[in-house]
Amino acid sequence: MSTEVPGQRLFEVVIVPYAKRHFIKSFEKKYKLNWDITLEALKAQYSHIESLVRNNRISSPIHASPDNQHWILKHDFAIAGRDTSPRASGNRTILVVDRTTQKVYVLLVYHKTDLKAGVETAQWRSLIKANCAEYLANFSF
């Protein structure tokens, strides 16, 4: 069964090595099969990223490049098989969308308690600046 919608652009979803090496490992260990299902669902959703943004299923870009071809997004998600809403779960992803190459880069996958105390936005910004700087070339913050 194809998930492609006529006239809709599909994006390639890329999980960057930093995300794989760090917080994803703890999700894999803690949730096992439910994590595999969750990750596949997230990839399927992110392949339709423009529709998610347009239909308010994901927040508007936190940052957009001046030409609006690159976005940074934060997305709340729940683990499959859990009776928790995405917002209440505390699970988040930080994404960079490149609309010119039609790719979504998953930079971080974390639970809000995985970050140090303080302002969550400042924490994930610091992490991506230090570990994923090559994906931030189109942004000024």
pLDDT per residue over 83-128, tens digit each?
Answer: 889 988 999 999 999 999 999 999 999 998 888 777 888 899 999 9
Q: Which residues contact 131 (CB under 8 A, 6 or more apart)?
A: 18
Distances 76 to 2, 3, 6, 90, 132 between C-alpha atoms, Å: 25, 22, 27, 7, 20
Assess if residue 2 is contained within a domain: no
> Domain residues for 46?
12-135
| Helix, strand, coil fractions of the chain, as percent rounded to 5 | 40, 20, 40
Assess if residue 6 is contained within a domain: no
In DSSP terms, 105 is beta-bridged to 14, 96
pLDDT per residue over 13-56, tens digit each?
Answer: 999 999 999 889 889 999 999 999 999 999 999 999 999 999 88
CATH number of the domain at 76, please: 3.30.2310.20
Q: Give residue 93's identity as a one-letter amino acid code.
A: T
Distances 92 to 2, 55, 59, 98, 114 between C-alpha atoms, Å: 27, 19, 12, 19, 10
Assess if residue 5 is contained within a domain: no
Cα separation of 60 and 83, whole Å? 26
What is the number of domains present in the chain? 1
